[in-house]
Every structure is written in structure tokens, then in C-alpha cells.
């Protein structure tokens, strides 16, 4: 009998059918390697939720077999879940220098010690467990981004990470069994613009502007920050950095040599007013309209150290991530109302995407020539379009695999197939609580946020079982009690009638009493207001 062909398993736990919480498990020779460990920001209906991370039940169950977490780059959708994952499965982490610099900072912030962090140079290969792993340099909107190749018995598994083709084409790989390639910009024709276009636009603006210049961008976009610093020092402006994440990234990137800032160029935020307006450039967070960011605070005059002047020029050097359009235009409008000159993406070339457009993706496929392909890092439409692109480029349809979170795909050199799914999904993080907010809590939050709350307090005598005071009614977010006295009085009478009725029929069970009060008040209020507040009857005993 012929020996069975060597196999490799691919298990995506996040990042498919969504852009965010990227996490893919590669299983080879019984050992597990985790590529990336990212978060995604909550959707509108996840009220009060801070962040969302992948469900890692599968990792917890297979703890002993995990050999490491391999990070492609330092963006939150690739490293943001790390502190939560490492708390459950403490395994070594591998990544390039800047990525690990950002990770180190993040873990410190979460009070996590005793994690083995390994800095890997791109172009280097190393043995992790029984497998050879390579980090390959790619271009992206954060320095030190990499693709990852894992050499398995079945062949090379290649993961593109996030990338675009800009000056430095990545090294080709021979004999790739499976390529997982990002799909973010697959719907955009042509090529992404070069970061150099942005530098030229900055030069033009800095040359022609007499006022202070304030530039908002992604904290992690170190290239962009460098371009702002370059333009500022060329036109003799001092640079000030505002916003917590911006200050952190600038510090880490400068320490590690990824950001070069001339001596005496950087000034403290409290010294900004010591210089003339045309000698100041401020780099800040808030390019996505985030409510608590420095730019939002500036636009609403609630920044503790800075105040906008009517002639200031604000450049928003980013495009809104899908879903953030409204909050960005809110900030842009608020800035214009303050008399500020705002330059945003519709007005000038002040941003380029960090993700490959269609022609660049084709280039990647032509370069890697994988036997099998699975699109990753995209919403369902992106994954579908990317699969079509591979097919148009001549790949056989049976060699293209549309995965989903929780899928288990097994490959040998002749083909691939789906095995039974593993558990996958999302875990909601709210404050210090990880996973304690579920559907029931969210449903209550939604109910409260839409219709408000009515509390009915009744005091009952322990001896007689009779109501001795109340009912009192408290409203929060339903109506303003003082302006709705009639409604509230009638509601109180309604409760009294229910209580009298209970007494008459010898109903003494509190649960029944509460239910009857709730039902009666609910239908009364609906009849009068066509609203459904949450009703909370409380019985106190004295």
C-alpha cells in the first residue's frame, strides 16, 4: 500500500467575511502555528462594547500543541487581541522589530509579563518546533510588515499579510502549495498610489501655508509621520505630537530607528504658543473621527492643552474606514464651523492606501504561482472577487478555496478538502470583562437605549403582606416625570388597582405580583404613548 501523502491543515479563526480580528492556524506535523491575533471594532448595535476579539476555544483546547504566534505586522487588526490570547495561552510570539516594539508596549499596558517575545529579521528563516518559518518583507502602511511562509511536509504555506507593491517588489517563492492573500482592495482597479505622491502634496501645502498646520493620520502610519516631519523641517516648522497612541508610536518608532526626527525639531505641546503660527506643525490622532481622539477634542474645543485658531489649516491624511464616514464628516463640519481651513481626501492627494489594488494582486499571484489559493482579509464580497480574479488568471476553480471562520481545510499536494468545523466566532470585550457581555445583556442595552426604563417601587409589610407605601414610579430615558405628571399619576393608580386585585384574590407570591404589575403597566403605557420602556417592579419588605 502506498504511503499517505503528507498533509497540512489550515484553520481560520478570524478575518474571513470581515476586515479585522485576523487569526489563522496552520497545523503541520501535529504542531500549531498561529498567524496574527487581531481585534475588530464593534458594530453599532454592540452597545457599549470596546473591542471584539476571536473566539479562541480551539486554541485553549489545543494549548499543548501551539508552537508560537507569528505576526505579519503591527496593526490592531493583526495584534490587537494578543493580550487577551496570551492570557489564555502563553506561547512565544514572533515578529519583526517594529511589530515587537509595539507588542511589547501593548503587553506592558495590559500588565502582562513573562511572555517570550522573539524579534525576527525579514529574509531570515528559523526553525520553530519542527517547521522552518520565513518572514518576507512586504510594503504596507506600517514599516516592517511581512508575509510569512511556513515549510510543511505537504509544501510551502504562504500568507501575504497586508501588502501593496511600492518600489520594493517582494521576493518570489518557488513551489508554494497554498497562498492565503489579503483581499481588502480587490475591487479597486489599477495600482495603489505611491507614498511619494503624499510627500509631494505635503510639500505644496507646507510651502503655501502661513498658519499653523495640524495633520491628523493613523498613529501606526510611521511613513506618513516621517513625511510630515520632513515637510515641517524643510519649511522650518517645529513639530508637536498630540494624542496618546500617536505619542506612543512616535516614541517606539524613534527609539527603534524607524522614524528620523532632526534634533530640536520636536517640541512639547505646552510650548506650542511660544512660536509664531508659521513655525508650528502638529501631528495628531483622530483621522477616523473617533470621539475621544485629539482631533475631535480640538474640533469641540475640549482639548486640554491646545485650542484651534480660526486661520489654522487642518489636514486629514487618511480616508475613512468603511463605517467611519459619518463620524469623519461630523468632525470635518465642526472644523469648518470654527473657521478652520480643512483639507481632506476629496480635496487633495493626502492619503494613499496600504493595500494592494487589483493589478498588484495579479502581480502577487503571478509571482507566487501557488497550487492552491484561499482569499483572506476581506468581507465576503472581497473574498468572492479575489477568488474570481484567481480564476481569471487561470487557476482551476477546484484549486480555489473559499474559507470561513471555523473552517478546517486539509491539503496535500494533490488537493484540498473541508473537514468538520471547529468553534469560532466573536468575543466581546467591555472594560475589564472579556466575554461576559452576551446576547441577553446586549438585548437589554438595546431596549434601554431605545425606550428607557420605568422603576416601580412598592413597600410591603412583612406581617400583613399589605402595601404600606408606594407605589412610586421612577423614569429614566422614558419620559421626563415632571412634565408627565398625569401619565405617572394614572400609572400609579393602575398599579394600585393591580395590587388590590392581588389582595382580593389572596395572591401573595412576589413573582406573580411583579408580573401582573409589569404586564398591566406595559399595556397601559403602550396604549398612551406607543412606547415600550423596560419595566422593573421592585418590592421592599419592612
Give the interface segment with Zn ion, choosing from 67-75, 225-233, 358-366, 477-485 (CB under 5 A): 67-75
CB of 356 to Zn ion, least distance (A): 11
Nearer to Zn ion, 144 or 162 (CB): 162
Complete edge-to-edge strand list for the sheet that includes strand 51-54: 51-54, 426-430, 433-434
Give the interface segment with Zn ion, choosing from 77-85, 194-202, 277-285, 389-397 (CB under 5 A): 77-85
Show the site string, 222-261: x = touches Zn ion by CB under 5 A, - = not: ----------------------------------------
DSSP-derived pairing of the beta strands 467-476 and 453-460: antiparallel
CB of 489 to Zn ion, least distance (A): 58
Give the interface segment with Zn ion, choosing from 162-170, 401-409, 455-463, 502-510 (CB under 5 A): 162-170
DSSP-derived pairing of the beta strands 415-419 and 408-412: antiparallel
Nearer to Zn ion, 168 or 464 (CB): 168
Nearest to 80 by CA among 59, 102, 113: 102
Q: Please, which residues have CB within 8 angstroms of residue 6's CB and are 6 or more apart in sequence?
A: 152, 153, 154, 412, 413
Binding residue count for Zn ion, defined by CB under 5 A: 3
What residues pair up with 537 in beta bridges, in sequence order?
Answer: 456
- How many CB atoms within 10 Å of residue 262? 11
Nearest to 95 by CA among 151, 146, 41: 146
- How many CB atoms within 10 Å of residue 267? 17
Nearest to 251 by CA among 94, 115, 80, 102: 102
Give the interface segment with Zn ion, choosing from 69-77, 151-159, 206-214, 309-317 (CB under 5 A): 69-77
Angle at 438 between CA 432 and CA 443, to 5 degrees: 120
Nearer to Zn ion, 27 or 76 (CB): 76
Give the interface segment with Zn ion, choosing from 123-131, 159-167, 305-313, 368-376 (CB under 5 A): 159-167
Nearer to Zn ion, 99 or 201 (CB): 99
Give the cell for residue 325: 464616514
Nearest to 215 by CA among 326, 329, 312: 312
Nearer to Zn ion, 403 or 537 (CB): 403
Q: DSSP 3-state assignment of 252?
A: helix
Nearer to Zn ion, 27 or 36 (CB): 36
Gyration radius from the chain CA atoms: 29
CB of 444 to Zn ion, least distance (A): 33
Nearest to 160 by CA among 413, 410, 8, 386: 386
CB of 43 to Zn ion, least distance (A): 18
CB of 162 to Zn ion, least distance (A): 3
Nearer to Zn ion, 356 or 400 (CB): 356
301-340: contacts with Zn ion (CB under 5 A): none
Nearer to Zn ion, 77 or 166 (CB): 77
CB of 283 to Zn ion, least distance (A): 20
CB of 430 to Zn ion, least distance (A): 23
Give the interface segment with Zn ion, choosing from 70-78, 130-138, 337-345, 385-393 (CB under 5 A): 70-78
Nearer to Zn ion, 139 or 293 (CB): 139
Give the interface segment with Zn ion, choosing from 23-31, 44-52, 109-117, 156-164 (CB under 5 A): 156-164
CB of 75 to Zn ion, least distance (A): 4
Q: Could you give the CA distance from residue 6 to residue 4 in angstroms, rounded to a whole number?
A: 6
521 burial (CB, 10 Å; 0-12 / 13-18 / 19+) is: buried
**Three state DSSP letters for 324-383:** CHHHHHHHHHHHHHCCCEEECCCCCCCCCCCCCCHHHHHHHHHHHCCCEEEEECECHHHH
CB of 144 to Zn ion, least distance (A): 11
Buried b (16+ CB within 10 A) or exposed e, 49-64: bebbbbbbebbeebee
CB of 76 to Zn ion, least distance (A): 9
Nearer to Zn ion, 152 or 160 (CB): 160
Nearer to Zn ion, 253 or 458 (CB): 253
> How does DSSP assign 108-148, residue by residue?
HHTT--S--EEE--TT-EEEETTEEEEEEE-B-SSTT-EEE
CB of 77 to Zn ion, least distance (A): 4
Question: Of the candidates 55, 77, 166, 195, which one interacts with Zn ion according to CB under 5 A?
Answer: 77
Does position 75 interact with Zn ion (CB under 5 A)? The reply is: yes
CB of 333 to Zn ion, least distance (A): 29
- Contacts with Zn ion by CB under 5 A lie at 75, 77, 162
Amino acid at each position: 500500500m502506498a504511503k499517505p501523502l503528507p498533509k497540512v491543515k489550515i484553520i481560520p479563526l478570524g478575518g474571513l467575511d470581515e476586515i479585522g480580528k485576523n487569526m489563522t492556524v496552520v497545523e503541520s506535523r501535529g504542531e500549531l502555528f498561529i498567524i496574527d491575533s487581531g481585534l475588530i471594532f464593534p458594530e453599532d448595535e454592540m452597545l457599549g462594547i470596546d473591542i471584539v476579539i476571536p473566539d479562541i476555544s480551539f486554541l485553549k483546547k489545543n494549548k499543548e500543541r501551539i508552537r508560537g504566534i507569528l505576526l505579519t505586522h503591527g496593526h490592531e487588526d493583526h495584534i490587537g487581541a494578543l493580550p487577551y490570547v496570551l492570557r489564555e495561552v502563553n506561547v512565544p510570539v514572533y515578529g519583526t522589530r517594529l511589530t515587537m516594539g509595539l507588542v511589547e508596549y501593548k503587553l506592558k499596558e495590559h500588565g502582562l509579563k513573562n511572555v517570550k517575545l522573539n524579534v525576527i529579521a525579514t529574509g531570515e528563516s528559523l526553525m520553530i518546533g519542527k517547521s522552518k518559518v520565513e518572514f518576507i518583507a512586504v510594503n504596507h502602511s506600517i514599516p516592517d510588515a511581512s508575509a510569512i511562509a511556513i515549510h510543511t511536509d505537504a509544501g510551502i504555506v504562504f500568507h501575504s499579510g497586508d501588502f501593496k507593491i511600492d518600489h520594493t517588489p517582494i521576493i518570489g517563492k518557488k513551489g508554494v502549495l497554498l497562498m492565503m492573500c489579503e483581499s481588502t482592495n480587490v475591487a479597486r482597479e489599477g495600482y495603489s498610489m505611491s507614498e511619494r505622491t503624499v510627500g509631494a502634496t505635503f510639500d505644496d501645502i507646507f510651502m503655501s501655508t502661513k498658519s499653523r498646520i495640524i495633520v491628523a493620520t493613523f498613529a501606526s502610519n510611521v511613513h506618513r509621520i516621517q513625511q510630515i516631519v520632513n515637510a515641517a523641517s524643510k519649511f522650518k516648522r517645529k513639530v508637536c505630537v498630540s494624542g496618546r497612541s500617536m505619542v506612543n508610536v512616535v516614541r517606539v518608532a524613534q527609539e527603534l530607528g524607524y522614524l528620523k526626527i532632526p534634533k530640536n525639531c520636536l517640541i512639547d505641546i505646552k510650548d506650542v504658543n511660544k512660536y509664531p503660527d508659521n513655525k508650528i506643525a502638529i501631528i495628531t490622532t483622530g483621522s477616523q473621527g473617533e470621539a475621544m481622539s485629539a482631533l475631535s477634542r480640538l474640533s469641540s474645543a475640549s482639548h486640554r492643552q491646545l485650542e484651534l485658531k480660526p486661520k489654522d489649516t487642518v489636514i486629514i491624511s487618511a480616508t475613512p474606514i468603511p463605517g467611519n464616514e459619518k463620524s469623519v464628516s461630523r468632525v470635518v463640519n465642526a472644523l469648518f464651523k470654527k473657521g478652520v481651513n480643512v483639507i481632506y481626501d476629496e480635496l487633495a492627494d493626502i492619503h494613499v492606501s496600504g493595500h494592494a489594488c487589483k493589478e498588484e494582486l495579479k502581480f502577487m499571484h503571478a509571482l507566487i504561482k501557488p497550487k492552491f489559493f484561499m482569499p483572506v482579509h476581506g468581507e465576503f464580497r472581497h473574498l468572492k472577487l479575489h477568488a474570481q480574479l484567481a480564476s481569471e488568471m487561470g487557476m482551476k476553480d477546484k484549486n480555489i478555496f473559499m474559507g470561513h471562520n471555523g473552517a478546517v481545510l486539509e491539503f496535500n499536494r494533490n488537493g484540498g478538502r473541508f473537514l468538520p468545523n471547529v468553534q469560532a466566532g466573536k468575543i466581546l470585550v467591555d472594560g475589564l470583562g472579556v466575554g461576559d457581555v452576551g446576547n441577553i445583556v446586549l438585548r437589554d442595552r438595546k431596549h434601554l437605549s431605545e425606550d428607557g426604563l420605568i422603576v416601580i417601587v412598592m413597600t410591603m409589610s412583612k406581617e400583613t403582606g399589605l402595601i404600606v407605601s408606594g407605589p412610586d414610579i421612577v423614569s429614566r430615558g422614558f419620559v421626563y416625570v415632571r412634565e408627565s405628571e398625569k401619565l405617572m399619576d394614572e400609572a400609579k393608580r393602575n398599579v394600585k388597582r393591580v395590587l388590590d386585585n392581588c389582595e382580593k384574590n389572596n395572591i401573595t407570591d412576589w413573582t406573580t405580583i411583579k408580573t401582573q404589575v409589569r404586564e398591566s403597566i406595559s399595556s397601559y403605557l403602550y396604549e398612551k404613548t406607543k412606547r415600550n420602556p423596560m419595566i422593573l417592579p421592585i418590592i421592599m419588605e419592612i
